[in-house]
Structure 1
Amino acid sequence: MQIPRIEHFIAGGALAPAGGQYLEVHNPATGEVIAEVAAGSAADLDRAVAAAQAAAADPAWRDMPGEQRATLLHALAQRLYAHAEELVYLESISSGGTVSRIAGLDLPAALDICWTMAGIVKDYPFVENLPARPLPELTHGQVVKEPIGVCGLITAWNFPLLLLLAKTIPALAAGNAVVVKPSELTPQTTARFAEITADLLPPGVFNVVHGHGHEVGAAMSRHPDIGKISFTGSSRVGKLIQVAAAETCKRVTLELGGKGAAIVRPDADLNLVAYGALFGVMLNAGQMCESGTRLIVHKSIEQPLLAALAETAARLAVGNPLDPATSVGPLSSVAHGEKVLDYIRLALDEGAHLVCGGERVQVPGCEGGLFIAPTVLAGTNNRMKAAREEIFGPVLVVMTYEDDEEAIALANDSPYGLSAGVWTADLVVAQRMSRRLQAGSVWINDWHAIRTDAPFGGYKESGYGREFGIAGLESFLETKTVITAFQRDPHAKPLYGLLHTQRA
């Protein structure tokens, strides 16, 4: 069987890489090569940026009315829906995500991003008239929101399609042209999105340059004609992008790593916590930045909750992600899976004890992938590496506390601040605690409860800037103030006299 070849998408069509080189794309569940993708270079990026500049400068695109943009976003959503089955399959074989999750969460969320942004942009005040001010003289004031121009979007491998839409839709709604650099591990759905929407977007508005992050992504961060970088990925790479982007004072949105802490109060429903906490960390085999990987449990309920977690985790099916019955799929690669297993072994060496899981699982037909049983580690503390660093695997670390003050201190004792949560029957206390948790998203009696009309982003080393909702749209806009003066007589202008003391 011939292996599909994925080219760049520039100025409305496929384009081979300037260097003629391609990278292998592997199925993480089986290890098989499932595609070849263009290995991009700075020359490829230059071509894409030039196409995006031309599209961004076209008044027909730049000045398109909000109602017309809303119609376009609905059309993009319809095109996604029409190709849903194909996109779910491509996403699963490249990222290892389960088809049940992609069909039940990723795709509906991607559609909702389009619908939500369409509703926002339809009535968004791109020009706001300020009330008249008589001092120092009567003027008319306007605040104008304008597209940045060319935006570079760098997405991660774990949720390729959803992250693509989270960045692309608000960028296009704001009137920008984009150059996307998807992960070289999971390029399929980004490439397919470009193909199926090519007739809906003017050439050059949406461009894709594939390749390694240290080549294409780094060049994007330094490119003088890119005005904004939006990146989702590791904190380490995010810091490098921030430094590179500073050379040209680019606008930057960074959605980085996390070590989400969930506080379980003694009045919490333990059955709900067992289901919810495992949903918070085992979804996508724990390979989610906002996963709830630290469970901070009141000492009085530790043992019954650990028993409930072990019993519930035992019912999670580890298997082929293409099987709708599978709960937990593979790690992104064998190498990454081995790192996750190393974290588990180190935690045990440091004094943690294994509640469940901790071992590699063999899945028939997927011998080339690496699968890990849902793992719960108890007896941990924030000094342990497994509780301090982002593991990015199906591993939940459990620690205990005696009072709410200690719980909040433990939750905030982290370099990250992307997600946090409280499990309790007392919603008044939960609301009060939520204000003290240092995280961009705080969930009460739930996890992964992300709304496309609410801002999403992190504190501290989890990044800065926000995606989704009005905040997501405005992150792709520049703000300009336009003041019009009505007084034409220079001698009657109050402030001119501060300089021109001699009147003609």
Structure 2
Amino acid sequence: MTRETPQVTGGTGAAAGTGPAKAFAYAPAPESRAIVDIAPSYGLFVDGEFRDASDGKVFKTVSPASEEVLSEVAQASAEDVDTAVRAARAAHAEWAALPGAERAKYLFRIARIVQERARELAVLETLDNGKPIRETRDADLPLIAAHFFYYAGWADKLPHAGFGPDPRPLGVAAQVIPWNFPLLMLAWKIAPALATGNTVVLKPAETTPLSALFFADICRQAGLPRGVVNIVTGAGPTGAALVAHPDVDKVAFTGSTAVGKEIARTVAGTRKRLTLELGGKGANIVFDDAPIDQAVEGIVNGIYFNGGQVCCAGSRLLVQESVQDELLDALKRRLATLRIGDPLDKNTDVGAINSAEQLARITELTRAGEAEGAERWSPACELPSTGYWFAPTVFTNVTQAHRIAREEIFGPVLSVLTFRTPDEAVAKANNTPYGLSAGVWTEKGSRILKMAQQLRAGVIWSNTFNKFDPTSPFGGYQESGFGREGGRHGLEAYLDV
């Protein structure tokens, strides 16, 4: 794979110059950066106002697509974390005492402001994260608003949620979120916490802090009382200080399994409640009676959406032997039409990898796949010369012993395995320490239901993949964590029941 001058080839990120691709060339359609005003520096958001870090330390956040420095951000120390937790504790009694209908008003305001500023937030998220604007605009932002609307509706109905007649908030919630869906993961955590009467101290990922800081401004715009939401930015030590703080009542974490295990060790033996949403190695299972074209679209959405940087990505394709060749031919044709390049271009399908560190991990694991004998294929494509990029990749001749079939790659890399019988498909799908997601493709409803009973995964999609709704719980088993976010189930993690 070579790095060349930035280019999105005509109608495709690959196969440039071929007949159909050349006939359907796409003109560039860039979204304007002028819609978002990024300040040269940002402080911590504590007790309703922005402030510098106590020791004056800062770090830079860069755009993965161009390596351009976007802004300078305060790096919270343990002292800053303590200040934020104390602010959340001071605000808790008054916030929890509000009638649910009053808390709901604030959540409704936040949801409406998110909708009003959706274009601005989508551009910001694309710049800071590297994902295509089509994804932030059409997937992330609508879901973010929907989560705040949904939990606003629950705020005055908690006694009827099935958790007892008088459920109480836990207190101060410490929330640590990842870089792959920065603003969406914020919504998943803050919305139910506020609806149930908790106050929040949130730490965004160090590579994607900007949307959380913009959300702080939304909280002020909505008139949210001081101290109810506090945002501390920084790297691993900041998150560790927040998780370990003795006055935190609830810890919610989304991220890697390794860090999740460390957090579990930190809170073990304390009174803190904990939910973890960790890694995955989802299986996308295609039977011989599945509609091939529909399945191909689901496979592409399952592993190349957000560049494969999705915890529930369908990174393992299990295809029935009798249709393997037909499916792979169709899949390769489809991948040859993907457009790779500028994430702000509305035509782009696959954007940048979030960081140099993540790109190095993807590269290392794909090299291991080749070294272990798997056959690697990518569509011919030109990658930009600056930024962090990786071409969509498919591995065939993969066995269950290969690292690429066992370890979470967190990139646009698909491992293809085959099966002959449903029992073999279940055995291979469950042969993983993870248990977050799976997909089943077949025309037989009875087969889907039987597979769903046998697969050890928290979320199982039927003839689709990567579909989310605020009313539906999400979470995993085994090394994919525990607890659920979304739906009525997402309330329980923030209630003393």
TM-score scaled by structure 1?
0.89
- 1:389 equivalent in alignment to 2:410: no
Q: 2:218 aligned with 1:196, yes or no?
A: yes
SS at match of 2:386: coil
Alignment of 1:215-230 (within 5 A): 215-230=237-252
- Indicate the residue corresponding to 1:334 in structure 2: 356
> Greater Rg, structure 1 or structure 2?
1
Letter in 2 for 1:101: E
The residue correspondences of 1:39-438 to structure 2 (distance < 5 A) are 39-58=75-94, 61-125=95-159, 143-199=165-221, 200-213=223-236, 215-357=237-379, 361-363=382-384, 367-438=385-456
Paired with 1:6 and 1:247, the residues of 2 have a C-alpha distance of: 36
Q: Which amino acid aligns with 1:362?
A: L
CA distance 1:402–1:148, change in 2 (3 Å): same
Residues 475-486 of structure 1 aligned to structure 2 (within 5 Å): 475-479=493-497
Q: Distance in 2 between matches of 1:217 and 1:272?
A: 41
- Cα distance, 1:2 vs structure 2: 9.8
Structure 1 unaligned residues grouped into runs of 5+: 130-141, 480-504
Give the deviation of 1:79 after TM superposition.
1.0
Higher mean displacement: 378-387 or 329-338: 329-338
> In the alignment, residue 95 of structure 1 is paired with which amino acid?
N
Match of 1:474 in 2: 492
Residue 201 of structure 2 aligns to a residue whose secondary structure is: strand
Q: Name the structure with the higher strand share.
A: 1
SS in 2 for 1:273: helix
- The alignment-based identity, stated in percent, is 42
Identify the residue that residue 482 of structure 1 maps to in structure 2.
none
Letter in 1 for 2:247: D
Shift of 1:81: 1.3
Report the secondary structure of 2:461's partner residue.
strand
Deviations 1:349-399 (A, max 9, x none): 212112434x88422xxx321222211111112110001000011011100
Q: Could you tell me which amino acid in structure 1 is paired with residue 451 of structure 2?
A: M
* Cα displacement (A) at 1:120: 2.3
List per-residue Cα deviations over 1:207-241 (Å, max 9, x = no partner).
Answer: 0111112x111111111100001101000000001
Describe how 1:5-16 pairs up with structure 2 within 5 A. Answer: 5-16=41-52
Give 3-state SS (helix, strand or coil) of 1:435's partner. helix
Aligned to 1:486: none
Secondary structure class of the residue paired with 1:225: coil
Give the partner amino acid of 1:448.
Answer: N
Change (3 A) 1:360 1:8: farther
CA RMSD of aligned residues (A): 1.7
Contact 1:351–1:379 (Cα < 8 Å) also in 2? yes
User: Is contact 1:126-1:144 (8 Å) kept?
Assistant: no
SS of alignment partner, residue 156 of structure 2: helix
- Structure 1 partner of 2:458: 440
Distance 1:412 1:212 in 2: 34
Counterpart contact for 2:254–2:278, Cα < 8 Å: yes
State whether residues 109 and 162 of structure 1, in contact with CA within 8 Å, keep that contact through their aligned partners in structure 2.
yes
Match of 1:37, SS state, is strand
Q: What's the CA shift for 1:57?
A: 1.9
**One-letter code aligned to 1:203:** R
**Aligned position for 2:24:** none
Task: Indicate conservation of the 8 Å contact 1:99/1:324, yes or no.
Answer: yes
* Cα offset, 1:247, TM superposition: 4.2
CA shift at 1:297, angstroms? Answer: 0.6
Structure 1 pair 6/66, CA: closer, same or farther in 2 (3 Å)? same
SS of the residue 1:253 aligns to:
strand
Q: Distance in 1 between matches of 2:245 and 2:85?
A: 9
Relative distance call for 1:2 and 1:232 in structure 2 (3 A) is closer
SS of residue matched to 1:197: helix
3-state SS of 1:469 partner? coil
CA distance in 1, matches of 2:375, 2:251: 42
Matched ranges for 1:20-35 at <5 A: 20-35=56-71
CA–CA distance in structure 2, aligned partners of residues 336 and 196 of structure 1: 30
Aligned counterparts of 2:45 and 2:404: Cα–Cα separation in 1 = 41
3-state SS in 1 of match to 2:469: coil
8 A contact 1:222–1:248 mirrored in 2: no
Cα distance in 2, alignment partners of residues 96 and 372 from structure 1: 12
The alpha-carbon deviation at position 265 of structure 1 amounts to 0.7
114-123 or 183-192, which deviates more: 114-123
